[in-house]
Amino acid sequence: MNPVKQLHREAMELRDRADLAGLSGPPEAAEELLVQAFSKEREAARRLTNNLGSEPSRSVLFRSAAALAMKCGRLREAEQLVCEGLAGNPPDEIAEELRDLFDEINYHRHLSVRGLELSPAELRMSLAGSAIGPGMAQKDEVIKRIERMATILYRTAQRTRNQSYTEKVPRGIKKDFEIEMSMAEAASFAIGFRISYRKEQLALPGMSWPEQVIDELMTCIDLWQNQNKTGLRARFQEEAYLVSFLGLSQSIAPDGDKVNYVGFTASKGGRERWVSLTKSAKDMEKLTASLVPPPKIERTSVRGRLLWADSTTRENRLRVVDESGKKQLIVVREGMGDIVRTLWEEEVIVTGDFDGKQIINAVVKQLP
């Protein structure tokens, strides 16, 4: 076999093993496998450095090596590998992907805590885009993401305690699982979330409950960004939790306009861990549909303004005033309540099954 292809194949096998090790084993094992994968992919790419006629293989390998360098936390090497890839003759599509990767490397610099040490119970969210400036941002773009981050943290806490899904987060979770915030820093717009637990003596051995929640959320967001359907399904035993996670993740993700990047930083084992959301919510709709497909019956959609919701019954009901002024009764799918509660008086589109009186099994999305 061609030596370059052999190195690339070995790198991909090591990367896959690292992904599996990260799901079930100690983080050190996954990190070591990832470093080995990066080393082999970098060697494969650089064997083609002077072979400018080997496109698109040359640029694809440099892009892959740079992505692995980022996963290993080696930003400077990732930057160099992207530049080496662009220095050849990459096809337009690959060149654009290399430029996007270069942008992502720069975004990771915004995620750096710049001399401030994150505790294992802290999570930082950074935003970038046309609506975001150094230390300033459009209020609505920030507030909605803060609210949904709080909800997704509470839901992850509930799930890691092996509690069955409920339409509202239990009071006990909110009481014992406290979320504090720190606001934006200079040179970027970053929001810190610090989590504390009133009954820390009940924490799992080796990892406190806040640490476990942050680690689980970072893993799930990473799987979502990389469209790893198998990995995501394995994390969610109840479909309602998966529906809630997918909906909240899409609402936090970039919109491709005002916000084009959302990044997260946490600390694990004394090292920074980064997860980036660069794909827009629209880009991820196919993944959501494949993970929680709608029932195979005729569907209907309604556009209008959400005016009323009632979760006092087992079925989450709401009313939407459509474009003609008619009130539509909606019963949302289990797990959608976390999204519905954030969309009061917003323009939405509701998709579900009309049973002659109301729309059931409904999914609600905010209109752009």
Q: How does pLDDT run across 327-349, given as a tens digit for each residue? A: 888 888 777 778 777 777 788 88
Tell me the range of 99-113, 250-264, 289-303, 353-367 where mean pLDDT is highest: 250-264
Short-list 261, 360, 264, CA closest to 314: 360
Q: Name the pTM for this structure.
A: 0.67
CB 307 within 8 A of CB 345: yes
Short-list 338, 368, 367, 334, CA closest to 352: 334
Taking the alpha carbons of 78, 79, 85, 91 in that order, is the dihedral positive or negative?
positive
Neighbours of 76 (CB within 10 A): 9
Neighbours of 275 (CB within 10 A): 21
What percentage of the chain reaches a pLDDT higher than 90?
25
pLDDT at residue 242, rounded to an integer? 93
CB 173 within 8 A of CB 154: yes
Of residues 20 and 148, the one with the higher pLDDT is 148
Of residues 183 and 352, the one with the higher pLDDT is 352
Residue 232, classed as helix, strand or coil, is helix
Domains plus CATH for the chain? 3-109 (1.25.40), 122-291 (no CATH), 300-366 (2.40.50.140)
End-to-end CA separation in angstroms for the chain = 51
Q: At what angle do helices 3-24 and 27-46 cross, to 10 degrees?
A: 160
- The backbone region for 262, taken as left when phi is positive above 0, alpha when psi lies in -120 to 50, beta otherwise, is beta
**Secondary structure (DSSP) of 142-161:** HHHHHHHHHHHHHHHHHHHT
CB 164 within 8 A of CB 112: no
